[in-house]
Structure 1
Amino acid sequence: MDCTRLEYIKNVNDDKDWAYESYPVGAYFQLNFKESEATGVDNHAFNLPKGSLIILSQKPHGYDDRYLTHVVELVNEGSEDKPQWKTDTWGIFRWVKVHWIADFADVSRIPLDKKEMRANWGWYDTKAKLLSSEKLIKQWGSIDKLRAHLGEVFN
């Protein structure tokens, strides 16, 4: 997988199991963002650029660690997705295509977030965070080094 377009990492959750587990490579699904007036999630989701790759990180119920479970690509502009949004808690979404998915049958093979990303950034909302953030660049030195490392993880 070409990691040069990796731009973001996003927290995802499911109350009972792995989020988006049933979508194989090549599948499309609606990546949800939790609505919150205070955090501006709607504007954030709207402005994420088409073509960007997003790593999904999650900590399923009953697990102690966060795992890197998917790499997805935004396939539409925000203006194409927004007319379909609803006003409920999870009504904000962007259509994505799966480029990489973890092997959920063997949890020991799923990359650990803290090991591979080397940063503790706190997971307080569902916004996508830039991989070029200060916390990550401090650990990696450059976005190119981080992307090269992630290329080894996801290939």
Structure 2
Amino acid sequence: MLDLIEGLPHGWDSIVFKGYERGVQLSGGQWQKLGTARALYRGAPVVLVDEPTSALDPHAEIAAFDGLWSLARTGHAVVLVTHRLAATMNADHIYVLDQGRVVEDGTHAQLMSHEDGLYRGMFTAQAAQYGHVPAAETLPHPRSAVPSDHEEAR
């Protein structure tokens, strides 16, 4: 973060909004880093982050999540909204939403134990992109127009 700030044209005195005299426009990843740093600096008891690493490279993403999980270990509540399910493995509790409703909840291990679970299907599909699934036939099929078991239960 220090490198980012010191790399700005006016360092700590930079205005990070284009349109002002001396204003600087940050990239998406730079804004995400700045937002995370602000949350860490303020020491807020609850930190709500929505896709905090979507514009970061993999190394910066790992560092960002390390920072968030360190906040959680020191007594802060971290609420993470994400589609990147690898990030949820360290969560104390996971809520899975489908069509705006909570359809599953539990720990990563609990959710992975449900053979037909939505979370397990999504997690497995993402892991398969990196070759972490034994065979293609173990991949869940994409959702179709047919209502899922979760939707029928409503």
| TM norm structure 2 | 0.26
Name whichever structure is richer in strand by fraction.
Answer: 1
Which one has the largest radius of gyration? 2
TM-score, normalisation: structure 1: 0.26
